Amino acid sequence: MKAVRLEQYHQPPVVLDVPEPRVAGPWDVLVEIGGAGLCRTDLHIVEGQWAQKSRVELPYTLGHENAGWVRDTGSAVTNVTPGDPVILHPLVTCGLCRACRAGDDVHCTASTFPGIDRDGGMAELMVTGARSVLKLDPSLEPVHVAALADAGLTAYHAVRKAVPLLYPGTHAVVIGAGGLGHIGIQCLLAITAAEVTVVDRSEAALSLAKESGAHHLVNAMTEDPLVAIRHLTHGAGAHVVLDFVGEGGTETQGVAMLRRAGSYFVIGYGGSVSIPTIDIIYSEINLIGNLVGTYNDLDELMTLVAHGKVRLHTQTYPLDAVNHAIADLEAGRLPGRGILVPR
């Protein structure tokens, strides 16, 4: 089968023929991939940023945002059958550790992460675990929802954690309305009562944010975002800032946009946050990290999608065009998400 393989860091991935994976254990699920999302994390993987954290052995197959159809299952699998359309929770979890038993499976102590620390889904076939497969509503197609497996899940996870802070009358700021941000905006509007302001440097991204229902738009290329947020919040600042960029200065701006006791949610990454501890204490602000999301988060998100509350904007590419897709992502030509289609 064809697969997108990372042969060495700092070099473009290549499409090669590799042996087909097969069901080996009783809880294995073999999935025919209908769509694999391209994520900025894939770019960071190629750059070697994940080498020490993932400790994956090269070469391996990229792709951690996947959806498709069940091809085969292990002897113990009862929740799906061959032919079922599914979206895949990005982690393969044990189900036995305390985190899994508490429903916090994103912190499973024995998880693997296809596309990060083992072969992923930028291929014709991929093996995952029974706990990771979520059957799709009949109205949904794998190619249209694949990127929700991580980009959508991560955005929803952050918004879901912010829900108790966003009661009626509060103000939320979204920095970055691209592949993750445009999903986060829709989630905010679907499950909170907050007034939502979106900050971005791209007119195309801001147009997408407006289409998604954002209340206010701030073009960071033509106006000072800090001044704009202070004006919109009558000088107080935002209750919550969700930073889907996390680099290039948004980290400093995002924290500065907060009001006293505000919360800065870090979703995008690449930069660093440096705040004097006395400032954190004096304003009693919170810095909150967000990594993927739980299986239940994914289930809730797919319910919103099936009900038309969240819609993913995508551009599809054949698997062989992976480096074309990467170039579009790097150049900012993808206001939504790029999806690789193996067949």
DSSP sequence for 28-94: EEEEEEEEEEE-HHHHHHHTTTTHHHH-PPSSEE---SEEEEEEEE-TT--S--TT-EEEE-S-B--
Encoding tokens for residue 204? 């195309």
Identify the band that residue 335 occupies on the pLDDT scale cut at 50, 70 and 90. Answer: confident
CATH number for the domain running over 2-150+292-341: 3.90.180.10
Fold of 153-289: Rossmann fold (3.40.50)
**pLDDT per residue as tens digits for the range 188-201:** 999 999 999 999 99
CATH 3.90.180.10 residue ranges of the chain are 2-150+292-341
Nearest to 186 by CA among 148, 221, 214: 214
Report the C-alpha gap between 308 and 185 in whole angstroms. 14
**pLDDT per residue as tens digits for the range 261-306:** 999 999 998 899 999 999 999 999 999 999 899 999 999 999 999 9
**pLDDT per residue as tens digits for the range 232-264:** 999 999 999 999 999 999 999 999 999 999 999
What b/e sequence results for 175-193 when a residue is b if at least 16 CB atoms lie within 10 Å of its CB, and e otherwise?
A: bbbbbbbbbbbbbbbbbbe
Largest CA distance in the chain: 61
E strands within 209-306?
Answer: 216-219, 238-243, 258-266, 286-289
**Predicted TM-score (pTM) of this structure:** 0.93
CATH 3.40.50.720 residue ranges of the chain are 153-289
Q: Are 136 and 87 in contact, with CB atoms under 8 Å apart?
A: yes
Q: Are strands 216-219 and 66-73 parallel, antiparallel or unpaired?
A: unpaired
